[in-house]
Amino acid sequence: MKKLSYGSLILTLCGGLLSSALAQTTSPAAAASAAPAAQAAPAAEITCFESRKGASEVVKRDIRPGHPNVKCSTRTGAVLWWGDPFDGTVPMGDMPLMDKIPAGKAVVKPRSDKLPLLAACGTGCHNGVIPPKLPTSKKPVPMPTMEAMMPDAKNFQHGRGGIWCLDCHHTTQRNKLVNNFGEPVSIEQPQLLCGKCHGDKLRDWRDGIHGKRIGEWASTGKKRWFTCTECHNPHNVQDGARNRGFIQIAPEAPPQLPRGMIDAKHELRHGVAH
Amino acid sequence: MLSVSSLMGTAALMAKSDDVKATVEWAEHFQGNYRLMTDAEKTEARARLERRYSAQYSKKVTVDCTEAAPGVLMGYALNIKKCIGCRRCVHACTEENNQSRGERPGERIEWIQVLRMERGEFTKERMDQGYPEGLGIQVGGNAYTPAGAVLEGQYHYDPKAVPEKDANYMPIACMQCEKPPCVKVCPVRTTYREADGPVVIDYNWCIGCKMCMGACPYWARRFNLTTPVLPKEAMNPVTHYLGNRPRMRGVVEKCHWCLQRTRQGRYPACVEVCPVGARKFGNLLDPESEVSQVLARKNVFRLKAELNTFPKFFYFYD
Amino acid sequence: MDKLFSFIADYTRYVLKGGKMFYAWMGILALLIFGMLYVFYLQNTEGLIVTGMTSQIHDGLYLANLVFLVGVAAGAVTIVFPAYVYHHEGMHKVTVLGEMLAISAVIMVMVFVFAHMGRPDRLWHMIPPWGVYSFSSMLGWDVLVLNGYLILNFVVGFWYLYSKYTGKPVNQKIFMPLVYLSILWALSIHTVTAFLIAVNAARPMWFHSMMPIRFITTAFAAGPALIILIFLVIRNTTKMWIEDSAIKLLTTIVIWCLGIAIFLTLSEIVIELYARTEHANSLYYLMFGLHGLTRLVPWFWSAMVLMVGAFILFLIPSVRNNMKRLPIPCAMAFVGIWIEKGMGLIVPGFIPSPIGEVTEYYPTLVEWLMTLGIWAFGFFVLTILLKGAIGILTGDVKLAAGKAGEAAGLAANPNTAASA
């Protein structure tokens, strides 16, 4: 585990994508396929990310002999295959309109495990009370501690100036998020917060159309749901080279050229000569 | 000629493997069409295969024969607005399904192909030019011009990062048609539509005539041009008779919606790996399933619908 | 029964004896056949990766030759039909030679099927009761009609030869219906072969109703062209004299069918290229290339030149009626149609793939060796069959004189000094 990358995760409570991108230095070693000496014991640890780098790394290990928990891509470091989709998951907390799903059938991977300083957020700094000079305007004031933890605090890339820190983070219980009524929301249930503004996405996510699930396909089956912040970094949804809202990732390898073709350059020429 | 080539093939196999039990047993050559087998024959065939695969790949391989569950019709939906062309579905599929992977042309088989399409645009500059016709005949205006070099799709794209600004992506694999043209043309009825929806192939019965490959409008089927190259470490030992069990030289293979997983209730590998959640899978007969919800609420279309193949693979956008 | 055994014995003895040219010819063919056997071994151990076929273009030289040869086999009907339905005297005498050609062509087709399949060791899967026969599959029907045609021609041809051998006439009540059946059957084999590729909605280059008629007309142009060439060779190397009227009638058939075939090709080109939809991509690739890939363009244009050139030459009386010049347009037509069927129809049907991928195909040495070997095998069989048939037709092989088989070689005919 890289302490440095996890340290940068703390300030956003969900992971700062930029800082983790900087911290991520190694790419995974030789992956499962075609490696001559593939068995794990003396070889380097293989880590790959499930949804986005910095949010959800897993270490490859064997669940049973010859059956790994994940298979990783040698090219991009992403998880390509899950051996056990429910490895490390806990049941999802209660949510409105989720009563159709039987208990224990919706599970998530907890985020708080990956955020070691989260517990401290609740008590460190003003020990859970409102600080004396709460800002009157919705503009972040310079705070060296905060800026050290989240460098882009003043250039917040979510909502185009329409929202700020305390729209999502609870004022006094700082290890929790907040809903419209000021009630604290667990960090494990970001959907209760995100759905405030993104209701159509929440509805689609609840019904399985938006977002990612792994596990059993039956509507009454057990599934691991990927929560909002596993795929989306809420501090950085607008920033950087994004096309259609997605941060760019490296693609996997193109298909093999069939016999008879030297290269694929013909694809870059117009079909019919003009 | 039949027996000569069969003997030659057997001899060659025997020469290559180091384990006697990894050779193809005589009985396997003469087994019948899977659908016509009695339960006893199926058990025997399954045991034979498990023996052979376990010896060949030096690990315990299981060959499942689970039948279709009643009340299930598998369906698939893919959100083309979300697809970013990362091709992880292609590679997750090969990790799960034991495709041949080698360096010689034709040795690497991938069941999914991702099409990259460029956007064009209308521009003022070309308003007065004639429509480009191959033989120089001008018919209309040419305000429409491709943004990049080409408008036709590409399969071998390899940019540094996806999604690219001016491109859309669309993965294509077997559509698991309700009226499959491939099934109709098979001379030995080795490919057929199972009761719960997917179109499957009995690899031991396929004669390799490739009629099905010619009939498929979606180019979903691949041919094993040689003995599949599958390293022992990479082999997925959890297999299904009609699904991902290792194939042999000279037979056709294609996507089967990961039967080894879906018959046990799990999502196909491509559905699980998609990083943007573009792929949805479920039971079309269950109104609560994800795919039924997509069909009910989203704008849905299918490829080449005019060919009346009635695919169960839907594309949607939201 | 005794007569049958002596027929087989005399026939075999006659065929095995020949002059230097005969043995040299058969020797070269045998060499090529060995090449074919070696390549077949390679294909069944390494797999079809030794050919140029891919998952995109999975039908190459083998299917092309297969389809062409079905046409040649069907072309034998152009002899049988005039002979028996129109009672054309000249043709009647040589009908059985056409049937021999049909037999060897169908045998060639079957060997090409073995070469083309991924698993020829599993062909028994198609034969009930051990296998499964699918009534919806055009390939199933093709196998059925081809085998039926082979059996029909074999029965009709050899019964006729046997009757000539024994001097006893055939039983017309059974023979004639079989002949009429073989005429109809000839049309069906090539139509079903056309259906084989034309019923695929996935392949717009083939998916139109013009395919069967194109197949029939090109078959009836290529088949008789080959037969004319064979007849001229027979005239020059054996003592059998084939009448001018037979050759002239065949020439007329070739001209008509070649003309219609060219017309059909032209109309296809105009219709496809006028609207130039994506369905015309295959034809465009063939004629001009796509995305800068032009491997088949020279083949298409040479096929056109050959076919049109042959047609024009056929129309000139001084070429058509001159037995020394006639082989030229016949060979041109034969080669032109061979190219047009193979490179011009089968391979471009896969370019682009149904989802738009453009790839190219080149046959490997393995494929050429196999093709040559199978053609050699076909000609080997053809030579044997024709030699035996000619022996019987000229009276050299007869039941009455038991020593007929000892007429080693053939008496020279006025046209040539060397015996064949």
pLDDT at C182: 92
Asked if B107 is an interface residue toward chain A (Cβ–Cβ < 8 A), one would say yes
Tokens of B242: 């009609």
Provide the whole-model pTM: 0.86
pLDDT at A266: 87
Say whether B9 and C45 touch across the interface (CB within 8 A). yes
Whether residue C251 contacts residue C317, with contact meaning beta carbons closer than 8 Å, is answered with no
Better-predicted residue by pLDDT, C359 or A149? C359
Tell me whether the omega of the peptide bond preceding residue C177 falls within 30 degrees of 0, making it cis: no
Average pLDDT, chain B: 87
pLDDT digits (tens, 9 = 90+) for A110-141: 888 777 777 777 777 777 677 776 667 777 67
Asked if C294 is an interface residue toward chain B (Cβ–Cβ < 8 A), one would say no
**Residue of chain C minimizing CA distance to B222:** C55
Q: Is B175 found in the same domain as B260?
A: yes
pLDDT at A260: 86
What gap in Å lies between CA C392 and CA C96, rounded to an integer?
11
Chain B adjacent subunits, 3+ CB pairs under 8 A: A, C
Average pLDDT over residues B118-123: 72
Say whether A260 and C281 touch across the interface (CB within 8 A). no
Whether residue B201 contacts residue B251, with contact meaning beta carbons closer than 8 Å, is answered with yes
Q: How is chain C split into domains, by residue range?
A: 18-401
| Stretch among A136-140, B211-215, B301-305, C70-74 having the lowest mean pLDDT | A136-140
How many CB pairs lie under 8 A apart between chains A and B? 191
Average pLDDT over residues A235-244: 70
**Residue of chain A minimizing CA distance to B232:** A34
Say whether C54 and B211 touch across the interface (CB within 8 A). no
Is B124 within a domain?
Answer: no
Q: Is B213 found in the same domain as B263?
A: yes
What gap in Å lies between CA A208 and CA B268, rounded to an integer?
15
Asked if C92 is an interface residue toward chain B (Cβ–Cβ < 8 A), one would say no
At residue A15 the predicted structure's pLDDT band, cuts being 50, 70 and 90, is very low
Q: Domain ends where: B11, B40, B60?
A: B60
User: What's the CA dihedral at B247, B253, B254, B255 to 10 degrees?
Assistant: -30
pLDDT digits (tens, 9 = 90+) for A137-157: 777 677 777 777 777 767 778
Say whether A259 and C54 touch across the interface (CB within 8 A). yes
What CATH number should be reported for the domain whose range is C18-401? 1.20.1630.10
Whether residue B154 contacts residue B164, with contact meaning beta carbons closer than 8 Å, is answered with no
Q: Indicate whether C89 pLDDT > 70.
A: yes
pLDDT digits (tens, 9 = 90+) for B87-99: 999 999 999 999 9
Is B211 within a domain?
Answer: yes
Is B41 within a domain?
Answer: yes
pLDDT at A122: 73
At residue A241 the predicted structure's pLDDT band, cuts being 50, 70 and 90, is low
**Residue of chain A minimizing CA distance to C53:** A259
Chain A adjacent subunits, 3+ CB pairs under 8 A: B, C
Q: Which residues of chain C does B6 touch, with a Cβ-Cβ cutoff of 8 Å?
A: 121
At residue B132 the predicted structure's pLDDT band, cuts being 50, 70 and 90, is low
At residue B14 the predicted structure's pLDDT band, cuts being 50, 70 and 90, is very low
Task: Give the up-direction half-sphere exposure of residue A38: CA atoms within 13 A in the CB hemisphere.
Answer: 20
> C149 burial class (0-12, 13-18, 19+ CB within 10 angstroms)?
buried
At residue C26 the predicted structure's pLDDT band, cuts being 50, 70 and 90, is very high
pLDDT at A240: 64
Say whether B5 and C120 touch across the interface (CB within 8 A). yes
Q: What is the CATH number of the domain that holds B84?
A: 3.30.70.20
What is the percent of chain C where pLDDT is above 70?
A: 95
pLDDT digits (tens, 9 = 90+) for C173-209: 999 999 999 999 999 999 999 999 999 999 999 999 9
pLDDT at B8: 52
pLDDT digits (tens, 9 = 90+) for C250-274: 999 999 999 999 999 999 999 998 8
Name the C residues in 127-166 with CB < 8 Å from any B CB. Answer: 130-134, 136-140, 143
At residue C331, what are phi and psi to the nearest 5 degrees? Answer: -65, -40
Q: Work out the minimum CA distance from B36 to partner chain A, whole angstroms.
A: 30
pLDDT at A115: 77
Round to the nearest angstrom and report the end-to-end CA distance of chain A: 57
Q: Indicate whether C147 pLDDT > 70.
A: yes
Say whether B150 and A267 touch across the interface (CB within 8 A). yes
Say whether C132 and B107 touch across the interface (CB within 8 A). no
| Stretch among A167-171, B264-268, C19-23 having the lowest mean pLDDT | A167-171
**Residue of chain C minimizing CA distance to A263:** C359
Q: Work out the minimum CA distance from B108 to partner chain C, whole angstroms.
A: 11
For residue A242, the cross-strand partners are A247
Chain C adjacent subunits, 3+ CB pairs under 8 A: A, B
Say whether A250 and B162 touch across the interface (CB within 8 A). yes
**Residue of chain C minimizing CA distance to A269:** C291
Average pLDDT over residues A201-214: 92
**What is the count of structural domains for chain B?**
2
Q: Which of C44, C49, C273 is nearest residue B225 as measured by Cβ atoms?
A: C49
pLDDT at A94: 78
Q: Work out the minimum CA distance from A261 to partner chain C, whole angstroms.
A: 6
Enclosing domain of residue B209: 68-117+162-234+248-318
| Stretch among A15-24, A105-114, B40-49, C108-117 having the lowest mean pLDDT | A15-24
Q: Indicate whether A162 pLDDT > 70.
A: yes
Q: Is B74 found in the same domain as B56?
A: no
pLDDT at B2: 52
Q: Indicate whether B130 pLDDT > 50.
A: yes
Q: Is B279 found in the same domain as B206?
A: yes
Q: Domain ends where: B15, B39, B60?
A: B60
ipTM of the complex: 0.87
Q: Indicate whether C15 pLDDT > 50.
A: yes
Average pLDDT over residues A227-235: 85
Say whether A260 and C55 touch across the interface (CB within 8 A). no
> C277 burial class (0-12, 13-18, 19+ CB within 10 angstroms)?
exposed
